[in-house]
Amino acid sequence: MNISLVLYVVGNVLFSEAVLMLLPVFVALLMGTGDWIYFIYTIVPLALVGFLLRLKKPKLSRMRTREGLAAVAFSWIFLAAFGALPFYFSGYFAGYVDCFFETVSGFTTTGATILTDIEGFGNGGLMFWRSFTHWVGGMGILVFVLAILPNMDGSTVQLLRAESPGPEPGKVVPRLKETARILYLIYFGLTILHILCLLATGMPLFDSVIHSMGSAGTGGFSNMNASVGAYQNPAAEWVIAVFMLLFGVNFSLYYLLLKKQVKDVLKNEELRLYLGIIVAAVVCITLNVAGKYYEGSWPDAIRTAFFQVSSIITTTGYSTADFNLWPTFSKMILVALMIVGASAGSTGGGIKISRLLVLAKTVKAEFRRLIHPRMVRAPRMDGRIIESSTVKGILIFFFTYIMIAVSAMIVISVDGYDFETTVTAVLSALGNIGPGLSAVGPMGNFSGFSVLSKLVLSFCMLAGRLELFPMLILFIPSTWKKSY
């Protein structure tokens, strides 16, 4: 392990975070709140640590897979550790662990909160920072760093692979730096468009920015206790629901649209399955809840069903209704969507549509082989053969995902919550979703969990956002052995 290289990357990330914290300082000063001082307390040591770590570039700058995984894991841990300090200095939270949980939830775009009175937090620098962590974490802090800093060498693709959500992230264009810039330009453009659309619905500017950053990062932090439902604004609900869906699409498809390769986008199998699942889920939930919960008001039922399906499958976590009260059939659909998640290469979490599609095609090919033993036909996706190594990697991911989920459920079950709360709290954290069911439902929060459970759930959020392996590799002794 080339420790000096890992620390150099971490230093760049921390220094970048210090620069990004100047934005909530500006917001606090603009809005006349006094919480800007908490960011100054953080920026000074943060910038100093970042500057010292990046002061000396390592002699050996070639980044192998394990350096990439370790650099990403440590970057996100320290990003959250320092990012929690403004919350801690504010004194609004019960302790540092709560601040760390909230910040991890923000950067990983989970949206799970320990706040019992969100509106009491106030609309200022701290509230802005809370949602801004969604926006930064959605595309990835390492992607941001790669976009603005010089490459150490061509091997920095290991950082992109370790941080990007999805089984096989790739480069949009040959140069990695240009790929990072293109992704962020698309991301920024969609965010600005989202803000403008919300302003057109009558939502206040600050609230529009907060909810747009939450939708963009598929995070779900709102500045209202009742989330988006507090506004009673159907137009805003439609806008947010549509943009959540858009941010759950693989961003490389937007690049293809810019290149006017519309046919390639329409032929994308993951996109078609993603949209198909959404349509099917909306229809089923609408039929299930319309008569009993919406007194035959089909427009309200369709809008609410579409909003919650879009929110859950993209792992955003906004809500306009307490789906804890819905029939079991509808709740089971939402739990299934929690596990499925959004598209690979999007800002959404979950297992990802592409993984499920690959496994489905592999199972189909195996059945065909059993029926016709002499037939030799490899499964394909988007016209390309699915390599056996890809299938193997996805199977390993699934097994690891299940083991982490089961282990975490066993640990937090010690807190004594009911089965529904315990299971969905872990699924929510690991899938970066936000709300679960029962005590952690859309009208609940995670404040009642013990310190140990909050730390376990924080680990799950980080593991889920980083595709499991960057966090797990830290616990393997051979990772730290020197080799060149």
Q: Is the pLDDT of residue 95 over 80?
A: yes
H helix intervals, 108-156: 125-139, 141-148
Portion of the chain with pLDDT greater than 90, in percent: 47
**pLDDT band at residue 276 under the 50/70/90 scheme:** very high
Give the H or E element holding residue 381. Answer: strand 380-381
Over residues 426-434, mean pLDDT: 91
Q: Is the pLDDT of residue 82 over 60?
A: yes
Instruction: Give the residue, 246 or 368, on which the prediction is more confident.
Output: 246
CB 89 within 8 A of CB 45: no
Count Cα neighbours of 102 within 13 Å in the Cβ-side half-sphere: 30
How far is 167 from 63, CA to CA, in rounded Å? 20
- Phi (first) and psi of residue 377, to 5 degrees: -145, 110
**316 appears as a binding residue in the annotation:** yes
Dihedral sign, Cα of residue 217, residue 222, residue 228, residue 232: negative
* Chain-centre distance for alpha carbon 25: 25
The structure tokens 């440590």 sit at 74
Packing angle, helices 3-20 and 65-83, rounded to 10: 40
**268 appears as a binding residue in the annotation:** no
Percent of residues in the chain assigned helix, strand, coil, to nearest 5: 70, 0, 30
What is the DSSP code string of 219-249? ----SSTTGGGGG--HHHHHHHHHHHHHHTS
For 170-184, the pLDDT digits (tens) are 455 545 667 777 888
pLDDT at 377: 75
pLDDT at 141: 65
How far is 438 from 424, CA to CA, in rounded Å? 9
**109 appears as a binding residue in the annotation:** yes
Q: Is the pLDDT of residue 155 over 80?
A: no
Instruction: Give the residue, 41 or 434, on which the prediction is more confident.
Output: 41
**pLDDT band at residue 255 under the 50/70/90 scheme:** confident
Over residues 221-241, mean pLDDT: 93
**pLDDT band at residue 207 under the 50/70/90 scheme:** very high
In the three-class reduction of DSSP (H, G, I as helix; E, B as strand; rest coil), residue 385 is classed as: strand
How far is 274 from 245, CA to CA, in rounded Å? 9
How far is 145 from 148, CA to CA, in rounded Å? 5
pLDDT at 169: 46
Q: Is the pLDDT of residue 349 over 90?
A: no
For 191-201, the pLDDT digits (tens) are 999 999 999 99
**pLDDT band at residue 416 under the 50/70/90 scheme:** very high
In the three-class reduction of DSSP (H, G, I as helix; E, B as strand; rest coil), residue 250 is classed as: coil
Burial category of 102 from C-beta neighbours within 10 Å (exposed 0-12, middle 13-18, buried 19 and up): buried
Instruction: List all residues 6 or more positions away from 418 whose beta carbon is below 8 Å from its beta carbon.
Output: 438, 439
Token duo for residue 21: 């914290």
Which amino acid appears at position 258 of this protein? L
How far is 111 from 218, CA to CA, in rounded Å? 8
Over residues 425-432, mean pLDDT: 92
Q: Is the pLDDT of residue 102 over 90?
A: yes
How far is 34 from 393, CA to CA, in rounded Å? 50
**110 appears as a binding residue in the annotation:** yes
Instruction: List all residues 6 or more positions away from 379 whose beta carbon is below 8 Å from its beta carbon.
Output: 358, 361, 362, 364, 365, 385, 386
For 54-76, the pLDDT digits (tens) are 887 776 666 677 777 888 889 89
- Share the mean pLDDT of the chain: 86
Q: Is the pLDDT of residue 307 over 70?
A: yes
**pLDDT band at residue 165 under the 50/70/90 scheme:** low
Portion of the chain with pLDDT greater than 70, in percent: 90
Task: Specify the pTM.
Answer: 0.90
Per DSSP, the chain holds a count of helices (H) and strands (E) of 22, 2
For 20-35, the pLDDT digits (tens) are 999 999 999 999 988 9
Over residues 445-449, mean pLDDT: 91
